Amino acid sequence: MNIKNLIPANEFCVHHNIAISFISSLHENGLIQVTTIEDTSYIHKNELSELERIIRLHSELDINIEGIETITHLLKRINELQDENTKLKAQLGIFESFI
């Protein structure tokens, strides 16, 4: 694993003024992936935008982890449905050209 793409969780927490236990709770609930190397937890750079969105939901809107989990699930489902809708519209366009 390339450590250049990893950010120490404790540094991230200090920078964002959050507790490391919050990161652990997010990981335990499957909302983010945390990699542990030699007793140090790391967050992958690809997780940053999602993690920062979660932090905003938690701190600005005072949403608990269960609520964040629900919101994340619903947003993923909406994206899936939008993708499916786009594909169906494209297929419909193909069939309309035959009419």
Handedness of CA 12, 16, 21, 22 (dihedral sign): negative
DSSP string, 62-95: ---HHHHHHHHHHHHHHHHHHHHHHHHHHHHHHH
- For the stretch 18-42, pLDDT in tens is 999 999 999 999 999 999 998 999 9
pLDDT greater than 90 at residue 82? yes
pTM of the model: 0.79
Select 3-96's CATH number: 1.10.150.120, 3.40.309.10, 3.30.70.2190, 1.10.1660.10.
1.10.1660.10
Contact residues for 97 (Cβ-Cβ < 8 A; gap 6+): none
